[in-house]
Amino acid sequence: MLKQMKIAVVSLLLAALAAALPARAQDDVVMKAMRDELDRSMKQLQLEDLEKPYFIAYRVVDSESTGVSASFGALDSSSQGRSRRITVEVRVGSYQLDNTNFFSFNFNMSSMVQAFNGTAELPLDDDYNELRRQIWLVTDSAYKKAVEDLAKKRAALENKVDTDRIPDFSRETPTQTAITAAPIHVDRAQWETEARNLSALFRAMPDIYTSSVSFSAVNSNVRYVNSEGTRYTRQEPRVTFNAHANTQAADGAPLEDSMFLYASSLDALPDSDALATRVRALGQHLQDLRASAEIQNYNGPVLAEGDAAAQLFRMIFLPNLLGVRRPMMDSALSALGARAGISADNPFLDKIGGRVLPDFLSVTDNPTLAELNGKPLAGTCKVDEDGVPTRQTLLVDKGILKTLLTTRDPVRGIEHSSGSRHDGQAAPSNVIVTADNGLSQDDLHAKFLALLKQENKDYGIVLRRMRTSGQPVMAFKMYQDGHEELIHGVQLSGLNAAAFKDIVAASKEQNMLTVEFRPESLMSILSPGDEGFAPVTLAVPSLLFDDVTVRKVRGETSKPPIVPSPLAGEN
Amino acid sequence: MRLTYNDHDLPGIPSMRRYSFLTLLLVLGAGLCAAAQSVSPVLQAMQTELDRSMQKLKTQPVPPYFLSYEIIDTHSYTVTAAFGKLTRSGESHRRQLDIDMRVGDYAMDNSHEIRGGLPTSSLASFSSTTVPIDNDPDAIRAVLWYHTDERFKRAVEQLTRVKTNAQVEVAPEDKSDDFSHEQPQQFSEPQRDVKVDLKAWEDKIRKYTAPFAKYSNIYGAQAILEVSAETRWFVNSEGSRIQTSQPTWRLFLVASTKADDGMELPRYESWLGFSEKDLPDDASVLKAVENMIRDLEALRVAPVADPYTGPAILSGRASGVFFHEIFGHRVEGHRQKWANEAQTFKKMIGQEVLPKDFSVYFDPTVERMAGTALAGYYLYDNQGVKARRVDVVDDGVLKTFLMSRTPIEGIPQSNGHGRAQAGFAPVARQSNLIVQVAQSSVKPDLKKLLIEEVKKQGLPYGLYFADISGGFTFTGRTVPNAFNVMPLVVYRIYPDGREELVRGVDLIGTPLTTFSKIEAADNHAEVFNGICGAESGGVPVSAVSPAILISQIEVQKKQKSQERPPILPAPFAQK
């Protein structure tokens, strides 16, 4: 047994060595500068009698981006740019207790300096000495902040009784990974023409007040190295297409809709004709909404289908599945933070092992899958931001919460990273919700109507599309005879994660939705990645809720424009 | 560091309402030719939509009495390098729209100050609207239309608030109108674009910062080339129709070190011109780089200044900043009206505010002076009012204020100083400030006079301010009415004529007393060009002044940075 283990260890070491060697040989000048400065800092960086760092990580992101946007047939902007930025993590103390998971604010330093501590612009030119200089300087200031934070944190801890003190950093097995992908080559002039043409479609719709169409492409190249021996390089091309339009209903209700398409290559984006069809449909839908009926208050069964099912799940349920650690605060700040509600803990931390969904629903996060139901998944990746290998995580099993997605910042009850760090915090990748004995669409409709009948309702509300702001933009009244009526100005009231436990039925088929996942934590907002936010694909069945309050959007809205649009042609 | 070189960075400024700062930019200039040209499709679209809006809104219960559109087209190139290596290089093109929508009448409209409430921050009034960069009249009109409607509704709402406030509050001291009557202006100069050879400039910018690379205790060293062509189209409902177009080339160097005690020590150099050939040749820039390196090395080991009260010389550039900060901001017209302003000079027209040999005028129509281009040069302000010279102080006596179209008591009209950065509402701002000294106060050797004064006062030394950067002035009522500029290079001048560089000097004091202590000037005018930030955003300005001798100034020790120099030696120094 012992011998077997020894062999296993040796072979593991050999495998690691084998993996390390080619990577070392391939080191480019940037990676070499990162590694050399990392080695020097780990050995020598120390302020008098204070501690040396026990962990340093460098992440350098090269990004090359192209963006084009247009409205009503004319170009609004067109740009192209390159940047190279480094983010440094310096940890002082120990895995058990270090300078992180602590939020402090130094009133002697300008807020700009603090916000950008640990990040720096690097030269675009591949020059070893210059890269070393910039990495040296940014490491120095990150280390100084780290020792200061650790001292403050220790002082703050002395005054506190911490009932469940958990480690600040998890230990993970070092890995070496190289992910390559073909970069996107954009013909900017062609995109300009296409953006003009697509945006010009709104000229024929004078009821649309403002609109825009935009393309963007980013080729990012990430290099990562840490003092534990983890290293990765990741090339990631991303293309996005956005269209947005707004108008108002006669009653003043603001109406807006947008579409977001994501692809990892130009070919994967729909062709011009298909895009035109979708842009036209977006405009047409807004025009239909203008003419649609206003909603009355409604309490009863609601069926979420299509985009709406996935969006609803993403906005209301998914955030609870993320093991985001609440930072400890400086005593001066913690009072402020408590008032602002920053200190609110994720309620699901205490629900592990408990029921959070009906027993026929299960949720998995799976970054290892490239395709589902024949469609590409956008959140696929081999390693996360920390270089931790990604894996499938069963989050909810037959309605019971199993675990949360985590990073190397452990949360109560979860010691290790699930390989889920993106944009600085725990984030989903591909979220797959499955229903045991899921219904066909017809059966689900039948069930919905039966439920309505049981409750003596003339009609029920069906949601088909939602925007990221959380307002349904495609909602219908569905009557007993099966006919539907489009409604506008719809707002869901009081629908929270707990309500998902009461879902009464779900479809067999999954609705696929890809969005950019925007982390909600304060620190992540301060340091948005140059490469944009990580894409997430959700596959969620249509969901039938038993009892939801739906009401009219409240709040003051201004009246529709007094003068007709110049595009209306009546001048 | 509140030094800026780049207009795009300025949206951060509104939070610094009522502070203003000036930054260094040295200048060279080029000619400007005005010629008739066919009307731009952009201007035509603006005119059409403006006419239509005025016509259609006429029947509203509270119709607009004035409407103006300004579209600012900026085509720019930026190249940045640090320590000899490229960090950024790119081109951008954008158009921004500003709308001035007024309801009520010239006497009282929606712009009227609401008193007794919370001060409205300029951040709240900042609104940047993007306009298509294609010359597509319909697409441009669609944007104008939507935002005109929005602004109209807001204006009507605001007028109701204004009227209520006027009934509730006691009558204001200053009963002047809200908006001045001005002659409509028609002007058009050809649109001038810029073309930058990015490859060539990338090499130059690398070359300019390369000499810093071998110094292990210089922690920042950047060169920035900013080239932009700014075309402005303006139309208003009074019949004004203006097209101006101005290319600007700016080259900026910034480098910094730290003393062993952690004090940040920066140096700046900059050049400004209206064409590429106005920028200095490589040899001149490299010479300046050499001087910066020498200054930084000297500053790093220079002794820290002690608190001091006594005589001082301000170089022409330093004096320019001094006048801009402590004098210029206090003669901006609207500050005499707004209730929460200190109104330092409000009642002083006709009185002596400077020694009688000193005059100060502002002249945006001067393109160059003392061999350099002036950043505060323009032909029409952002309210479409023709630029003109304004003599603010004549032989020491205050004559008038800088005026936008917001009248103040006794000054009913604009004098072409209503300025703003795109997205902000214009207020009275400075242009080219020029200090003129009568012959009787011009002394060829200020140093000799300084030494005499030092001896007379029995002091160990006097001070010479060779260069000053940034600085900010509080003109509000709730903060002490003091100034604070940031000297970069200061020498002690000993009675034996010896000069000693010191670091960490902060110039402090109360403005009015400082003015009265100006004793003399030399006969060598110097130009200071920069971007001044205040409530209407960043605007390019310049200040021209000879060196001046002040019999008494007060300095304090500068607050130093908490952070010490890097712990490890530079990686390349360790090999």
For residue B116, count other CB atoms closer than 10 A to its CB: 9
pLDDT band at A570 (very low <50, low <70, confident <90, very high): low
Q: Residue B235 and residue B47: Cα distance in Å, rounded?
A: 6
Task: Output the six-digit token pair for B336.
Answer: 């005499």
pLDDT of A493 > 90? The answer is no
- Least CB-CB distance to B139: which of A41, A46, A71? A71
Question: What mean pLDDT is predicted for residues B390-394?
Answer: 97
**Range of A560-564, B68-72, B338-342 with top mean pLDDT:** B68-72
Question: What mean pLDDT is predicted for residues B14-32?
Answer: 33
pLDDT of A366 > 90? The answer is yes
State whether residue B434 sits within 8 Å of chain A by CB.
no
Question: What mean pLDDT is predicted for residues B426-443?
Answer: 95
What was the pLDDT predicted at B348?
87
Sequence-ordered list of residues with C-beta below 8 angstroms from that of B156, at least 6 positions apart, any chain: B60, B62, B103, B110
CA distance B568 to chain A (A): 6
CA distance B52 to chain A (A): 7
> Rounded to 5 degrees, what are φ and ψ at A22?
-60, -35
Residues 40-99 of B with CB under 8 A from A: 48-49, 52-53, 56-57, 60, 81-94
Please spell the DSSP secondary structure of A57-125, one letter per residue.
EEEEEEEEEEEEEEETTEEEEEEEEEEEEEEEEEEEB-SSSBS-SEE---TTS-HHHHHTTTEEE--SS
- Least CB-CB distance to B52: which of A37, A74, A563? A563
Q: Residue B37 and residue A229: Cα distance in Å, rounded?
A: 67
What residues of chain B lie within 8 A of the CB of A108, using their CB?
Answer: 562
pLDDT of B239 > 80? The answer is yes
Is the backbone of residue B242 left (phi > 0), alpha (psi -120 to 50) or beta?
Answer: beta
Closest residue by Cα to residue B538 from B1, B64, B14: B14
CA distance B91 to chain A (A): 7
Residue of chain B with shortest Cα separation from A140? B566
Q: Residue B534 and residue B14: Cα distance in Å, rounded?
A: 7
Q: Which residue has the higher pLDDT, A337 or A367?
A: A367
Alpha helical stretches, state H, B217-275: none
State whether residue B567 sits within 8 Å of chain A by CB.
yes
Question: What mean pLDDT is predicted for residues B513-523?
Answer: 89
pLDDT of B68 > 50? The answer is yes
Sequence-ordered list of residues with C-beta below 8 angstroms from that of A237, at least 6 positions apart, any chain: A181, A182, A183, A184, A217, A218, A219, A220, A264, A265
Q: Residue A141 and residue A123: Cα distance in Å, rounded?
A: 19
- The string of pLDDT tens digits covering residues A447-461 is 999 999 999 999 999
Alpha helical stretches, state H, B431-485: 446-457
Domain extent listing, chain B: 308-557
Angle among Cα B290, B292, B294 to the nearest 5 degrees reads 70
Q: Determine whether the interchain pair B146/A143 forms a contact, defined as Cβ–Cβ distance below 8 Å.
A: no
Residue of chain B with shortest Cα separation from A203? B139
Rg of the Cα atoms in chain A? 26
Point out the least confidently predicted range of A96-110, B321-335, B526-540: A96-110
Domain extent listing, chain A: 2-61+85-179, 298-552
Sequence-ordered list of residues with C-beta below 8 angstroms from that of B28, at least 6 positions apart, any chain: B271, B272, B273, B278, B279, B280, B368, B371, B372, B373
What residues of chain A lie within 8 A of the CB of B213, using their CB?
Answer: 129-130, 133
Bridge-based pairing of strands A293-294 and B397-398 is unpaired
pLDDT, mean over chain A: 88
Q: Residue B380 and residue B185: Cα distance in Å, rounded?
A: 9
Point out the least confidently predicted range of A30-44, A122-136, A169-183, B337-351: B337-351
A256 neighbors A242 (Cβ within 8 angstroms): no
Residue of chain A with shortest Cα separation from B55? A563
* Percent with pLDDT over 90 in chain B: 69
Q: Determine whether the interchain pair A81/B84 forms a contact, defined as Cβ–Cβ distance below 8 Å.
A: no
Question: What mean pLDDT is predicted for residues B274-282?
Answer: 95
Question: What mean pLDDT is predicted for residues B254-278?
Answer: 92
What was the pLDDT predicted at A396?
98
Q: Determine whether the interchain pair B60/A562 forms a contact, defined as Cβ–Cβ distance below 8 Å.
A: yes
A400 neighbors A433 (Cβ within 8 angstroms): no
Question: What mean pLDDT is predicted for residues B101-118?
Answer: 87
Q: Residue B321 and residue B469: Cα distance in Å, rounded?
A: 8
A434 neighbors A508 (Cβ within 8 angstroms): no
pLDDT band at A1 (very low <50, low <70, confident <90, very high): very low
Residue with tokens 């940040």: B264
What was the pLDDT predicted at B3?
31
- Least CB-CB distance to B149: which of A46, A108, A563? A563
B486 neighbors B506 (Cβ within 8 angstroms): yes
pLDDT of A571 > 80? The answer is no
Residue with tokens 């045991």: A436
Task: Output the six-digit token pair for B294.
Answer: 């020498």
pLDDT of B463 > 50? The answer is yes
Euclidean distance between the first and the last CA atom of chain B, given in angstroms as a whole number: 33
In the DSSP assignment, the letter for residue A389 is: B
State whether residue B146 sits within 8 Å of chain A by CB.
yes
Question: What mean pLDDT is predicted for residues B30-57?
Answer: 78
Q: Determine whether the interchain pair A133/B89 forms a contact, defined as Cβ–Cβ distance below 8 Å.
A: no
What was the pLDDT predicted at A27?
81
Is the backbone of residue A519 left (phi > 0), alpha (psi -120 to 50) or beta?
Answer: beta
Q: Over A341-352, what HEC string results?
A: CCCCCCHHHHCC
pLDDT band at B186 (very low <50, low <70, confident <90, very high): very high
- Least CB-CB distance to A561: which of B86, B149, B574? B149
Is the backbone of residue A470 left (phi > 0), alpha (psi -120 to 50) or beta?
Answer: left
pLDDT of A429 > 50? The answer is yes
CA distance A38 to chain B (A): 11
pLDDT of B560 > 80? The answer is no
Side-chain half-sphere of B86: how many Cα atoms within 13 Å?
Answer: 18
Q: What share of chain A is helix, strand, coil (3-state, %, to 5)?
A: 30, 35, 35
Bridge partners, A74 (sequence order): A71
What residues of chain A lie within 8 A of the CB of B132, using their CB?
Answer: 70-72, 74-76
What residues of chain A lie within 8 A of the CB of B90, using their CB?
Answer: 79-82
SS3 B138: helix
Side-chain half-sphere of B268: how many Cα atoms within 13 Å?
Answer: 26
Q: Please return the burial class of B297, using the count of CB atoms within 10 Å of its CB with bins 0-12, 13-18 and 19+.
A: middle
B243 neighbors B188 (Cβ within 8 angstroms): yes
- The string of pLDDT tens digits covering residues B319-377 is 998 898 888 988 999 888 776 666 778 788 999 999 999 999 999 999 999 889 999 99
Residue type, B345: F
Point out the least confidently predicted range of A194-203, A322-331, B241-250, B337-346: B337-346
Q: Residue B163 and residue A260: Cα distance in Å, rounded?
A: 46
Task: Output the six-digit token pair for B375.
Answer: 């950043």
Q: Residue A56 and residue A228: Cα distance in Å, rounded?
A: 8
Distances B375 to B5, B172, B469 between C-alpha atoms, Å: 12, 37, 16
Q: Determine whether the interchain pair A130/B213 forms a contact, defined as Cβ–Cβ distance below 8 Å.
A: yes
What residues of chain B lie within 8 A of the CB of A134, using their CB?
Answer: 82
Please spell the DSSP secondary structure of A187-222, one letter per residue.
-HHHHHHHHHHHHHGGGG-TT--EEEEEEEEEEEEE
Point out the least confidently predicted range of A527-541, B135-149, B276-290, B382-396: A527-541
Question: What mean pLDDT is predicted for residues B456-460?
Answer: 94
SS3 A328: strand
Rg of the Cα atoms in chain B? 25
Bridge partners, A255 (sequence order): A247
Residue of chain B with shortest Cα separation from A122? B87
pLDDT band at B125 (very low <50, low <70, confident <90, very high): low
pLDDT of B522 > 60? The answer is yes
Q: Residue A118 and residue A87: Cα distance in Å, rounded?
A: 6
What was the pLDDT predicted at B118?
54
> Rounded to 5 degrees, what are φ and ψ at A35?
-65, -40
Q: Residue B19 and residue B472: Cα distance in Å, rounded?
A: 5
Residue of chain B with shortest Cα separation from A106? B562
- Least CB-CB distance to A136: which of B206, B563, B570? B570
